Amino acid sequence: MISKAAEMTVLLNRLFPDQSARVLEAMSEVQRDVFVDPGWKRMAYTDSSLPIGHGQTISKPATVFRMLSALEPVFGGKLLETGSGSGYLASVASRLFNRVYCVERVLGLVESSRTNLRQTGSGNVVVRYGDGSSGWAEHALFDGILYSAGAPELPVSLAGQLREGGLAGVPVGTKSSQEFIVWRKVEGELERVSSFTCSFVPLIGKEGWNG
Ligand code: SAH
């Protein structure tokens, strides 16, 4: 039988024939089936978003790949992820960044993600329970910031927590459809670098929906 790591490699090479070798390698080291609900494990190596419990979903591998690839210039630094859910993106990121700080607003997911992260050898990740819409000021400045839930507009706290030259990616749009916009901080201002269309669950909190 083909190994799980090989299954992810086959999928990613088909989706992204000429892309970042480092992200592909990190993704092939992490067993995605560990992070999804028991009934969905056989779908873990397809390009689908899948249930992780508590009404939330794990992003498609292609989306995780794009989010992390956009931050390649700041690999090796400190990453903040808001909306860490199952911990899958954080586990892949732990192979690319020195430290990964996560905030998740569903307590059940904070607990299950810590178990998943332990099981996949991601010791440089910490997960905090709470509203991460305003980032995590205590650990700023970050080299990279990723929001894994969609915001109505760019959270105002973000710029102050990103170091000069750092990169941040946030899905911004409506509750059902967003543009994942990547910014770089240049001379204190955020400059737009790139974007792609996406569909994330809503960011609920002070600087998100219902804030
Ligand atoms: N990257 C995750 C995907 C999680 S889906 C993974 O790999 O599994 C988005 C997550 O954002 C959900 O778990 C949701 O509970 C969380 N979320 C939404 N608003 C949030 C907020 N204000 N602070 C922290 N987490 C939030």
Pocket residues for ligand 1 (CB within 6 Å)?
Answer: 52, 56-59, 82-86, 88-89, 103-106, 109, 131-133, 148-149, 201, 203-205, 208
Alpha-carbon separation of residue 69 from 19, 43, 55 (angstroms): 8, 23, 27
- Polymer length in residues for the chain: 211
pLDDT at residue number 43: 96
Whole-structure pTM value: 0.95
Task: List the chain pLDDT tens, one digit each, 211 residues.
Answer: 567 778 888 888 888 776 778 999 999 999 999 999 999 999 999 999 999 999 999 999 999 999 999 999 999 999 999 999 999 999 999 999 999 999 999 999 999 999 999 999 999 999 999 999 999 999 999 999 999 999 999 999 999 999 999 999 999 999 999 999 999 999 999 999 999 999 999 999 999 998 6
Q: Identify the burial level of 23 via C-beta atoms within 10 angstroms of its C-beta, where 0-12 means exposed, 13-18 middle and 19 or more buried.
A: buried
Mutate to test the pocket of ligand 1, among 34, 65, 201 (most ligand atoms within 8 A of CB): 201
CATH topology of domain 62-198: Rossmann fold (3.40.50)
What spatial distance separates the first Cα and last Cα of the chain, rounded to whole Å?
Answer: 49
Do 62 and 85 meet the contact criterion of CB atoms below 8 Å apart? Answer: no
Answer yes or no: 59 catalytic.
yes
List the domain boundaries for the chain: 62-198
Q: What count of Cα atoms within 13 Å lies in the side-chain half-sphere of residue 148?
A: 29
Q: How far apart are CA 210 and CA 152, in angstroms?
A: 10
128 C-alpha to center of ligand 1: Å?
Answer: 12
